[in-house]
Amino acid sequence: MTSAAHLFGTNLVAMVTPMEPDGSISQSGVGSLVDHLLSTGCDGIVVAGTTGESPTLTEAETNNLIRTVAARAGDRARVIAGIGTNDTASSVRRAREAEAAGADALLLVCPYYNKPTQAGVTAHCLAIADATELPVMLYDVPPRAGIAIERATLIELAGHPRIRAVKDAKGDLFEAMTVMAGTSLAYYCGIDELNLPYLAAGAVGVVSVVGNVAAKHNADLIGAIQDSDLESARAIQYSLLGLADAIMGTAQGAAMAKTALAELGIIPHPTVRLPLLEPAPANRDHLTQALKAIALPA
């Protein structure tokens, strides 16, 4: 069986969607950002996920974005398309469109807001996994979805041949280890602050927001764990704590990541779409200090 690392990569970045001041997608910004991610060690790009402002992207914009990123990345990174909604029929359609646009894999969020039963979550995920030939990474994020993908549901879904991985933003390491021990599901940490403990517990990789600006650090962290060099892994994780706090702990993550990328000159503008807002001055100042505190590739 093909490994999860081959299907999805290990050092994944939840890519922001660069925008012009009028809110339209910045094609130059997309190209510049993809090149930056590839040059700093990212081997998997998550397009149109939460950090990519998926709730405010139209289906046409999403498909064009997937197509653009896939063409730019080529065979240098896997492209994982966020296609999950709380409507199964819409998610099936989006999955098929993503496959046609050149995605290598799908990111499927737990259906949000309408709070289905676990049987409903299972039926939803299976319908989407059956809709294409692409491997699927489940996205378990209770704070956003309103419900979790429970342990028994994860174990059941692991029986589907195309459901191969979990982006875990639940933060329950005991559950994660239990599922990893009992299934073939590969885990990816979806909480930047916990990358080290997840990797040490057996996660294959990360899906990182902070990786928009610090993918090289994440690559080094993953490499240190693979080399059983825990001392180096700790040092790398500790060096990122301030940046993780600035991006994920002080304001909205997508907005903060865009602000960081614009400050570094990687994308032209930090524009986000309502209801998101650009960070307040105090948050921007905190971010600037965090960026100065770590060594970023030129």
Q: What angle do CA 149, 151, 154 make, to 5 degrees?
A: 65
Q: Which of 139, 187, 188, 198 is catalytic?
A: 139
115 is catalytic: no
Helices (H), 114-265: 118-129, 142-145, 151-157, 173-182, 195-201, 211-226, 230-239, 241-244, 253-263
**Cα-Cα-Cα-Cα dihedral of 142, 159, 47, 192, to 10°?**
50
CA distance 162 to 255: 33
In single-letter form, the type of residue at position 22 comes to D
Identify the active-site residue in 112, 115, 167, 188: 167
Q: CA-CA distance, 2 to 9, in Å (whole number)?
A: 12
180, two tokens? 């990893």
Pairing outcome for strands 105-109 and 78-82: parallel
Active site residue 167: yes
Known catalytic residues are 139, 167
